Structure formats: structure tokens, C-alpha cells
Amino acid sequence: MKRREFVAASGVVLGASILSATDSIAATGASGLPSEAPPPVDMGSEFRRSEGVVDVHQHVIPDFYAAELTRRGLNVFAGESLPTWSAQSALAYMDDQGISSAILSLPAPAVCFDEPREASLLARRCNEFMARAKASEPGRFGSFAAIPQREPGSACAEAIHALDQLGADGVQLLASDGQHFLGEPRFEELMAELDKRQAKVFVHPNMHATSQSLALGTPGYLVEFACDTTRAAVNLILSGTMERYPNISWILAEGGGCLPYVAWRISLANALPEFDDAAPQGVLHYLRRFYFDTALCASPSVLATLNELVEPSRLLYGSDWPYLPHVGERDFQFIQTTDLLTSTGRGQLQRGNALSLFPRLARQGEAVAALPVYDVESSSHWALRQMKKPLSALAQSLKD
């Protein structure tokens, strides 16, 4: 029996020993590379270009967007200064790393501003910019549309416009808009429209108000980003959002934050009656529907944990460029050389899985695996649950 199956069946918690102190990507040597980084691998650019990697986590920072963030005092966010960006520098980076295609998205905080009209106008301008970039470099650039998330009505309208009119490959939603987490009732209309379109949704972390108030003295991207993603993913499951809207494909940035490590603990919600209707197929069923990108987390411990938790078809390559480029280079080398990936698994992570989500990026004649189809709880399963409820209630009353 595979350990992944054993975890699901027996409830073995992923041990803390799987994470070692030497696994921190923050520990860097004089070269600027993390201390866990493998020795540099001699890979000529011609070899890399032939790999055809698809990067689902690459940021776009138009000049007008950078100017707006600077005007708002957000040019330093979560501990990182806003880098410069150009299409030319992005393509040069992609050529050097063997990335044939990149799905572009805004960095946090995207357009999560208090002024609904300003946020909507900036989202539209950014989405039109990404559409032009995509048209100018067919097959090289794609886009996750920016959404004015704090105003649900505007968010819904912009998602529809971006997907239906601009041809966006998906939408980007922040795990929280700084105030509200994904999975809250205010997003129901948006979820319904995304589900109707079988949308691909890229979930990027943000700084929630509670993260700001903690003031731990560490850059937000080290800890708070991971917590933001984890909270959103758990809320998507336990609010019933994933059960109600099975046609949305969810991509969690940066390895899903803390989610893979705490997966079994979260699944203990299966025993709580208040979540029986929200997650009737079991927490791990929904958790294993997420895709996970490798940005800022390509390491032995993280990849081993993901390998235990999800199928190889759920892993995607992400660079987070132009942020922390030295980490992205190290991540690329690790993925190329690690024994934790088979040759087939490496190909799936770097290209094949992304093609299933974005088949337009496939070369002529290239095989593309179909996406799995999920459904809501079957009527027979629902009936069985209803039959068990009186017994569960009786058992609880006797216990009390």
C-alpha cells in the first residue's frame, strides 16, 4: 500500500520530522542561493529551451500599475520591493530557463483597494494590457485576469468580461482581499459564474489585516503568505464552495502554503457534524482536487509531502519571477535533478499538467491528457448520510 493511501485510510499525521531545519529557503550563502540548493547543474540554454516548461506563476508589472502602487505606498509589500518588468526581460528570462509559456498575473495586493471604481478601472486596464501581451507573443504569454475582489458585483462583471471577451486563460483571486477570505458567502455569485465557465482560478496569497497586525518582524512572504493561502483553501472546502462548484480548477500558489503539512489535521473536520453537508465527500477528496505550484517551495521536504498527498497530475511549475530570481533559478535546478521525481513526473510537473489546464499551449500533434471530471455528492451517498444522522445524534446525546 502506498503511503498516500495509508495516510487517507489510517489517519497517520505527516510527521514533523519531514521538515528539517536545513530546509529553509531563507538561509542563503554568500552566493545568494539557499543553503539547501544543490550544486549548480551545467545546462546550456539550447538544452533548456528544448524543455518547453510552462510557468503558471509569473508576474506582470506594467508601468502604470507600478506607478499606482507607488502612489498608494504599496511599492514595498510583504517585505518585497516592487521589481521592474518588461516583456523583453520576461522573454529573456524564459528563454534562459527553458520556459516556453508563462501565465501572467499581478503580484499581491493586485487591485484589492478600498475604492471600488478605481479598483475596477485598474483591473480592466491590466487585463487589457495582458491581452495585448498575449496577442503579441502567441503561445508565450497567457493571463490570469485581475479581479476587483473587494466589490463582489464588480468582481463578477470583470471576470465575465475577461474570460468571455478578452480570452483570459483564467482568473487570479487572492486568498484574501485583505478583509475577506475565499469561501465566504459574498463570493457566491462569482463562484457560480466561474463554475459555469469551467474557469481556472489561480489563488495567490495576500496580507490579511490580521497578518498586518501581528507584526512579527519577519517579511510577510516568509510566514503570513503561507497562512493566507492555507486559510483560504480550508475555507473553500469547509464552506462547501468546492462541493457546490465542482467545475472550477483551483491552483494554489507556492505549494499551497501550510496546507499539505496540515492536511490530515484539517481532515478531522470529517468527524464534526457541522461540516457534514459542506464536505460530504470527505475533506481529503476536496483537498486532492487542488493543483499546487512550486514557486518558493521546490525542496525535498515539500515535494516529498506533496508526493504523499496528491497525484503527480496535480503539480505545476511556478517561478514567481521577477521576485526572488535567485530562488527561482535554484528551484528550476532542483526540479531538473531531484530523485523525488521520475522522468514522467518531471515532464508532468513542468509541462504536461499545465497543458491539461491550458490545452491551447500544446504544440501541434502533442498529446494532452483530459482534465478529470468532478461532480457533487451522489443522491445515494446523500441518502446514506441522512439515514446515519439520527444515529449520530443519538450517540452524541448519550456521550453528552
Residue 273 lies in a domain: yes
**What pLDDT, on the 0 to 100 scale, is given for residue 334?**
95
Cα–Cα distance measured from residue 152 to residue 114, given in angstroms and rounded to the nearest whole number: 12
Residue 333 lies in a domain: yes
Cα–Cα distance measured from residue 218 to residue 269, given in angstroms and rounded to the nearest whole number: 31
Residue 399 lies in a domain: no
Can you give the length of the chain in residues?
A: 400
**What pLDDT, on the 0 to 100 scale, is given for residue 129?**
99
Residue 83 lies in a domain: yes
**What pLDDT, on the 0 to 100 scale, is given for residue 173?**
99
Residue 61 lies in a domain: yes
Main-chain phi, psi angles of 145, to 5 degrees: -65, 140
Taking 70 as the pLDDT cut, the residues of the chain under it are 1-50, 215, 388-400
Residue 357 lies in a domain: yes
Domain count, the chain: 1
**What pLDDT, on the 0 to 100 scale, is given for residue 392?**
66
Taken in order 243, 194, 144, 148, the sign of the CA dihedral is negative
**What pLDDT, on the 0 to 100 scale, is given for residue 155?**
98
Task: Give the range of the structural domain holding residue 279, as residue numbers without chain letter.
Answer: 42-373
CA atoms within 13 Å, Cβ hemisphere of 119: 21
Residue 10 lies in a domain: no
Q: What's 178's domain CATH number?
A: 3.20.20.140
**What pLDDT, on the 0 to 100 scale, is given for residue 215?**
66
Q: Which residues pair with 17 in a beta bridge?
A: none
Residue 31 lies in a domain: no
**What pLDDT, on the 0 to 100 scale, is given for residue 201?**
99
pLDDT tens column, 198-209: 999 999 999 888
For the CA atoms of 92, 250, 175, 292, what is the dihedral angle to 10 degrees? -60
